[in-house]
Amino acid sequence: MASDFTVFLGEMMRRPTEVSAIAPSSAAVARKMTEGLDSVRGPIVEIGPGTGSFTRMILERGIAPERLTLMEMNPRFCETLCQKFPGVTVLNRPAQDIARIGLTGIGAVISGVPVLARPQIQREILGPAFSVMAPDAVFVQITYSPNAPIPPEVQAELGVSASKRGTVWANLPPARVFEFRRVVQ
């Protein structure tokens, strides 16, 4: 099987509008993205898993493969994910379909989808995701911006708030990890 980097680079050149990072995420970012998952109840959904950097860490944290669903648009990445992670559900579907995959009570969504410069995608993903997430669920997002990738006005519109988990300097480029939760009324 080709290395993650080889598959990633090939797909980045073949489908540049689908692959927006310059390299797969580091293990350090994967650890930060998946913090606390061992205490999450219910299904876990990863959107935009690419070659599976976060997926590997989710499973290493003790999450049973049958609790994990991956949503990936790139067919080559889906093929690779199916081979690498038996027992995990891999769907060749966009993140915007999260409310239509038949899961409810989702405990966490781990997102590698680039949402920073795409306000419409922010609404198309977060709104439907929170409609099928448990009340205390968390939506975790990677970004390369120092600020939350979803602006305050969109957070307010969707009834969520952001908090920064941290910056991971051991990544190319350095990454920030934010979590979004429902605003308690």
Q: Please spell the DSSP secondary structure of 169-184, one letter per residue.
A: SSSSS-EEEEEEEEPP
Cis peptide leading into 151, omega within 30 of 0? Answer: no
What CATH class does 25-182 carry? alpha beta
Report field, pTM of the whole predicted structure over 0.85? yes
Q: Which helix (H) or strand (E) holds 154?
A: helix 152-158
Q: Which residues pair with 71 in a beta bridge?
A: 47, 91
C-alpha 65/C-alpha 157 separation (Å) is 34
Q: Answer for the pair 26, 170: CB distance below 8 angstroms, yes or no.
A: yes
58/160 Cα distance (integer angstroms): 24
Alpha carbon separation from 142 to 1, 36, 64, 163, 184 (Å, rounded): 27, 16, 23, 12, 23
Mean pLDDT by runs of 10 across the 185 residues of the chain is: 49 47 75 97 96 96 98 95 97 97 98 83 93 98 93 93 96 92 88
The domain limits of the chain are: 25-182
Query: What pLDDT score does 120 carry?
Result: 83
Q: Which helix (H) or strand (E) holds 9?
A: helix 4-14
**Residue 7: what pLDDT?**
43
Q: What is the pLDDT of residue 184?
A: 81
3-state SS, residue 167: strand
Residue 3 has a pLDDT of: 53
Q: For residues 102 and 132, what is the distance between their CA atoms, to the nearest angstrom? A: 9
- Identify which of 99, 40, 43, 35 has the alpha carbon closest to the alpha carbon of residue 66: 43
| Res 168: pLDDT | 95
